[in-house]
Structure 1
Amino acid sequence: MRESIDEAAANWAMRHPLDAHQQAALDAWLAQDRLHAGALLRAQAALALAEEALVADAGPEHGSHWTRRRWMAAGVGGAMAAAIAGMVGFSRWTGEHIATERGEIRRLPLEDGSVATIDSGSDLRVALDEESRRVTLARGQAWFQVAKDRRRPFIVDAGIAQARAIGTAFSVSRTENGVQIAVTEGIVATWARNGAGAMTILRAGDFATFERGALVPATGNSPQAIERSLAWRAGEIALEGDTLSDAIARFNRYNKQQLVLSDPSLANEKLVGLFRIDNPAGFARTLAISLDISVSMTAEEIRLSRKKIAGS
């Protein structure tokens, strides 16, 4: 019950300012249940606080004044000080559906001037309207270059975590284990979908990792690591001390010809280099030289193992 109330409250919060007909509908919704007013205040407080952080660098004439005017016009001037109970996702919104196959990396220009670069094996929906821009990432990873539009926030729903921006560049990665958000330019606000904690504000070079059940993410700052992790945008895999097992998992994400590690003792070998994402055979040949291992290939797989010592 609470989830449906919070979702409706979030949708109402995004609609301000309202015309007379919409205001009458909101008043009717508020009168239905005493819980509705509190849910609306929480949603408006969350959006207002995020807006303050996201436009702070734009200067007082374009930033906080606009935010205060917007929410005071909605009659919730005191709501900015309210505790944030977390905002719900936007799973009811539907729009353009994009799914990439294994090995497919797609650059998708959006109607608002933003660009989404979508990684292999990803699934997302895009919904753009006059009030907001919303993306639902069901799986995989995407990097967003967001066109500036302070009247229409850009929101990514990745299930257990949400991210909100105005004009910036950031990536969102969603796996079975959790969600990671990394910022390459500007500022992004992020929060756990069902959490009760405050929003986390990320700036360029910052990342936040959400695990299931966690109310707040683990955060850090590592611009170089973020850039390496996004090398897939250029069709490359960048390794800097990564283990062989991790590298194999990354190559197998993009290729039908799968790398197979026959000898588990090789799993933690550390690697450095830049490799073409669609050339696992070339990667294996490099390993044969650098690690002095045996490589055997078929059309379906490339097996890696230690060379047998004569007489053993």
Structure 2
Amino acid sequence: MIKGGPEQPVEDGTAHWAAHWAARIDAEPDSAHDPDLAAWLDADPRHAGALLRARAVLAMFAPDAQAAPAEPVPLESPPPPRRHPRIAMLAGLGAVAAALALALLPRGGMAVATGTGEVRRLGLADGSSLAIDARSRLTVDVVRGGRRQVAMTGGRALFRVTHDAAHPFQVVAGGVTITDVGTVFEVTQDEDAGTVDVIVSEGAVRVATPLGTRLLVAGQRGRFAASAPPPPAQAVDATTLARTAGWTEGRLDLNGEVLREAVAEMNRHNQLQIALGTPALGAEPLYGAFRLNDPVAFAQAVAASVGGRARLTTDGLVIER
């Protein structure tokens, strides 16, 4: 919470533009010197305070200091231009690392693409929020009191939706449309398999394909495809629900999943890639919890559990037997 005197009401346009500039500065620090931002700050004395609050929200959700930092990329840049005085006043909050961020979205939508090892959190204009897993692509078009739609073109996201019966929240992925009924749910789009996996942990969703509709409630999941009728709902216990969302906290929790699936998950989150030198190991079931950002420890533990070895090569890590 930011302490201070009574907050003056800010029109919706100001809040949205403050969120827009906060997200821009977070993702592209040079945006702090944009002349359009300087003009917007000068247009109304309340704008600086609105931007300060938006960036404070970002700062509160900064990554843990112990998290593995992003690999530095050396760049040659010209000296930064002179800062606008109000931007200089805001600079003390700092930019939030891209590996884990929360951004309030402006009107008009935003395209989001996460890279290897990048998990991003977004707070939406309607009060909803989502966590986006690594190697995911989606477009968010959410306006408070209006259209609310997310289009996924690959990857995984966890949605916490603020219910609004007059404006349903929809996620469209691979020809499948998921409509919330006041909900927390996870959507994983497997482009290779042509499927969309939906898991509901709170509330309910209605999943529609060209060949039918299925209602999923809390504690249920289903794997859908645009080319097939909706499958029956499958029950999911609380432990499994917690495990499937472990990626939002940097964990890989395994309870019988096979090694090839676990390796694919680790590779989604790390530049150091893992390969199976003995393909038959891919069918080995695994149990335990691992840190998603530590592929070396994962490979060593797995090798020990299957009676094999892990070695480092010029191309990455190899697990073999």
- Shorter-chain TM range is 0.5 to 0.7
Cα pair 2:258 2:283 within 8 Å, conserved: yes
Question: Which runs of structure 2 are paired with 1:46-85 in the superposition (5 Å)?
Answer: none
The higher-RCO structure (CA 8 Å, 6+ apart) is: 1
Q: Does 1:221 align with 2:235?
A: yes
Cα pair 2:300 2:309 within 8 Å, conserved: no
Provide, for residues 226-267 of structure 1, a one-character-per-residue CA deviation record: whole Å limited to 9, x for no partner.
332221011111110111122111111111111111112322
How far is the alpha carbon of 1:131 from its aligned partner? Answer: 3.0
Equivalent position to 2:283, from 268, 280, 283:
268
Equivalent position to 2:312, from 293, 297, 301:
297
1:284 corresponding residue in structure 2: 299
How far is the alpha carbon of 1:299 from its aligned partner? Answer: 5.8
1:70 corresponding residue in structure 2: none
1:154 corresponding residue in structure 2: 169
| Aligned mates of 2:226, 2:208 — CA distance in 1 | 13
Cα pair 2:170 2:177 within 8 Å, conserved: yes
How far is the alpha carbon of 1:217 from its aligned partner? Answer: 3.0
Provide, for residues 8-59 of structure 1, a one-character-per-residue CA deviation record: whole Å limited to 9, x for no partner.
xxxxxxxxxxxxxxxxxxxxxxxxxxxxxxxxxxxxxxxxxxxxxxxxxxxx
Question: Which runs of structure 2 are paired with 1:110-259 in the superposition (5 Å)?
Answer: 110-129=124-143, 130-176=145-191, 177=193, 178-192=195-209, 194-195=210-211, 197=212, 199-223=213-237, 224-259=239-274
Identity of aligned residues (%): 35
TM-score, structure 1 normalization: 0.64
TM-score, structure 2 normalization: 0.62
| Aligned mates of 2:142, 2:279 — CA distance in 1 | 48
How far is the alpha carbon of 1:218 from its aligned partner? Answer: 4.4
- Which has the larger displacement, 163-172 or 286-295? 286-295
Cα pair 2:176 2:225 within 8 Å, conserved: no
Cα pair 1:122 1:140 within 8 Å, conserved: yes
Equivalent AA in structure 1 for residue 130 of structure 2:
A
User: Partner of 2:283: helix, strand, or coil?
Assistant: coil
Equivalent AA in structure 2 for residue 123 of structure 1:
R
Cα pair 1:132 1:151 within 8 Å, conserved: no
Q: Give 4+ residue runs of structure 1 displaced > 4 Å after superposition.
A: none
> Number of residues paired by the alignment?
211
1:103 corresponding residue in structure 2: 117
Equivalent AA in structure 2 for residue 132 of structure 1:
R
Distance 1:153 1:300, change over 3 A: same
| Aligned mates of 2:197, 2:259 — CA distance in 1 | 22
Provide, for residues 108-127 of structure 1, a one-character-per-residue CA deviation record: whole Å limited to 9, x for no partner.
11111111100111111111
User: Partner of 1:248: helix, strand, or coil?
Assistant: helix
User: Partner of 1:116: helix, strand, or coil?
Assistant: strand
Equivalent AA in structure 2 for residue 105 of structure 1:
V
Equivalent AA in structure 2 for residue 202 of structure 1:
L
Cα pair 2:276 2:318 within 8 Å, conserved: yes
Distance 1:263 1:136, change over 3 A: same
User: Partner of 2:267: helix, strand, or coil?
Assistant: helix
Gaps of 5+ in 1: 1-93, 307-312
Gaps of 5+ in 2: 1-107
User: Partner of 2:170: helix, strand, or coil?
Assistant: strand
